[in-house]
Amino acid sequence: MKKIFILVILFSNIVTIAQSKKEQIITLENRVDSFRLALSSETKAKLKNEKRNALEIIDLNNEIREKSLLVEQIKKENSDFEKELLSKGKLITILQSEIENNKLKIDSLEAEIKYGASSFKVLDVSKYNPEKLPHQGQISFKRIWHDLNGENIVLFTLKNYELFVYHYVIKNDIVRQLRKVYDIEADCEYDLSLYFIDSSIVISDLDQDNYGEITFAYRKACRSDVSSSTMKLITLENGEKYIIRGTTKIPGYSEESQKKIDPSFYNAPHPFLTNANRIWQANIID
């Protein structure tokens, strides 16, 4: 009897312990389910945020691409517009140069008409062979006129990096050199340029003293980029020399041209400087 009682008590305790364990297991399972549910919700929320961010990134990339295309289009339109402006600016400059040169021709013709009986007269050819006159280099240009000195021949020659201008007068078969101009552009490791400006060469008798003047300009440069050239303008009369020094102007660049008038011009007849300034302005564009 006593043994039976003990067994009953033990079985009751075992049942109680088993029930307690079962409740603990159920509680743990509930917690695990709750944790899984919470984890699942957080993961979904995270994935949802990542998806939204990815869509926003795609939208931003598309917007950047569209704006980039718009910027390129605007750049192209601006480039075309700048080219058009530059082209029109060059055309205006060329027309202005032609107008100035035509004015010089008109002035010369008017002077010739008014003072036709004077000793000054522009000639097309010379009675003397210019090639026989002493000179260095190749003849680029020659100009001829007649005045009180007789027949005037001016030779413009170039030799490598050297520039020469010879003013000869011939009277009664006697040849005299009134003036020689020399310049050089040496020791150039880049692009060398040295040349006369054909359109700048003008023969005149502005002070009407029956001694002709010849005005001309030339450019020289040693450069490795887009930059101005040195320009010089000279007027010669009866052995005297008057000069302007400066630089050219290149369309499309901000660089301004420079100009320095030598004091010799201020001692010359007033029309000389007026004429020189007009020729300078007509040929300032490089």
pTM equals: 0.60
Domain ranges of the chain: 1-114, 115-282
| pLDDT at residue 105 in the model | 53
Q: In the prediction, which pLDDT does 114 show?
A: 47
Give the DSSP per-residue string, 132-159: GS---SEEEEEEEEEETTEEEEEEEEEE
What local confidence, expressed as pLDDT, does residue 255 receive?
67
The candidate with the shortest Cα–Cα distance to 165, out of 195, 188, 122, 190, is: 195
Q: What is the pLDDT of residue 202?
A: 97
What is the reported pLDDT for 180? 98
What percentage of the chain reaches a pLDDT higher than 90? Answer: 47
pLDDT tens digits along 18-45: 556 667 677 766 776 666 666 566 565 6
Average pLDDT of adjacent 10-residue blocks, the chain of 286 residues: 56 56 69 64 61 70 78 77 66 65 54 58 91 96 96 96 97 95 90 94 95 97 87 97 95 79 95 97 92
Give residue for tokens 């062979």: 129
Phi first, then psi: what are they for 117, rounded to 5°?
A: -85, 0
140-183 pLDDT tens trace: 999 999 999 999 999 999 998 999 999 999 999 899 999 999 99
